[in-house]
Amino acid sequence: MKIDSLTHILPKEISNEIDKFKNLDETFNELFESKTKIIQTNELIEEIGKNNIDKAVVAGFGWQNDDLISMTNEYIIKSKNNYPNNIIPFCSINIKSKKSEEELLNCIDKGIKGIGELHFNYEENYEKNKIFKNILKIAHDNNLPIIIHGSEPVGHKYNGKGINHPQNLYNLAKNNPDNIFIFSHFGGGLIFYEHMPEVKKVLHNVFYDCSAQPFLYNKSIFNMVLNSSTLKKVLFATDFPLINIERCLNEISHLEAEQKNYILSYNPISVFNL
């Protein structure tokens, strides 16, 4: 079984009115331009099929508008119901909204497998936010991983890069050691610090996806991280439709067969309880 651990789909009504939703939601405005490529379920299924990917995690974003959250979550759950063998559904959550707990519990009842992808400014200290604490507890009680966007503290800017740097992600894991986290984009580089024994100990429940890798790192990054102690913590992911799946698969073509097995199969099967 081969799994893409991070993709995104949105309903047709959103792709038809991008400017409307840019005005509606701050996170949406940061991530999307008028010509940003948005896909629907059938296009994702076609893409994974032609690349011999069996399943794809379909995640939302850290929207700030409750109506947008409900709309995208309903669409992802409907897509999962239509393609139960192909889609691993995650749900969007606004960790500032009082409606978030009810939304999350509703999504759990409908079969979601995790939360995310969350985009937030860690420096606003959400860990003192009661809503976020309750979300973390619900996730822990239901064994749900949480995908969180990681930001590189150096390098080029891009839409939605943010400032959720490795230090912030490290603190999040340290303060919530029982939660399962997936930090996107190699955790903005946090993965390299797992060479430090005390850091590795703190990050025992942290996994990393390699989404958008061709835009961020040379493919040599895989040898660097997989030949260290992180082989069992990396998940193959694309961020499709930002990047097509074939291109991302080509970036790991040089890896040994067993390394591919871990990041494409063994690791996600474990993290997503498949």
- Dihedral of the alpha carbons of 12, 113, 152, 190, in degrees to the nearest 10: -170
For residues 146 and 114, is the Cβ–Cβ distance under 8 A? yes
pLDDT value of residue 123: 55
Task: Tell me the average pLDDT of the chain.
Answer: 93
Q: How far apart are CA 25 and CA 20, in angstroms?
A: 9
Tell me if residue 226 falls in helix, strand or coil. helix
Tell me if residue 235 falls in helix, strand or coil. strand
45-78 pLDDT, tens digit per residue, is: 999 999 999 999 999 998 999 999 999 999 999 9
Question: Does residue 122 register a pLDDT over 90?
Answer: no
Alpha-carbon separation of residue 160 from 13, 120, 127, 163, 169 (angstroms):
22, 10, 21, 9, 16
pLDDT value of residue 244: 95
Residues sharing a CB contact under 8 Å with residue 170, sequence separation 6 or more, in sequence order? 190, 193, 199, 202, 203
Question: Does residue 254 register a pLDDT over 70?
Answer: yes
pLDDT value of residue 248: 98
Question: Does residue 166 register a pLDDT over 70?
Answer: yes
Question: Does residue 98 register a pLDDT over 70?
Answer: yes
Q: How far apart are CA 161 and CA 216, in angstroms?
A: 11
Question: Does residue 215 register a pLDDT over 80?
Answer: yes
Pick the CATH number of 3-271 from 1.10.10.60, 3.20.20.140, 2.30.110.10, 1.10.150.120: 3.20.20.140
Q: Which residue has the higher pLDDT, 81 or 62?
A: 81
pLDDT value of residue 62: 87
Q: How far apart are CA 46 and CA 49, in angstroms?
A: 5
pLDDT value of residue 164: 81
Angle at which helices 130-141 and 100-109 pack, to 10 degrees?
Answer: 20
User: Count of residues for the chain?
Assistant: 274
Q: Which residue has the higher pLDDT, 83 or 35?
A: 83
pLDDT value of residue 203: 97
What share of the chain has pLDDT > 90, as a percent? 79
* Helix/strand/coil (H/E/C) assignment for every residue in 26-95: HHHHHHCCCCCCCCCHHHHHHHHHHCCCCEEEECCCCCCCHHHHHHHHHHHHHHHHHCCCCEEEEECCCC
- Beta-bridge partner residues of 87: 56
Residue 2 pLDDT level (bands cut at 50, 70, 90):
very high
Instruction: Evaluate if pTM is beyond 0.85.
Output: yes
For residues 169 and 199, is the Cβ–Cβ distance under 8 A? no
User: Which of 231, 195, 234 is closest to 211 using CA atoms?
Assistant: 234
pLDDT value of residue 124: 62
Residue 156 pLDDT level (bands cut at 50, 70, 90):
confident
Question: Does residue 224 register a pLDDT over 70?
Answer: yes
| Strand arrangement, sheet containing 55-58 | 3-7, 55-58, 87-91, 114-118, 146-148, 181-183, 206-209, 234-235
pLDDT (mean) for 91-116: 95
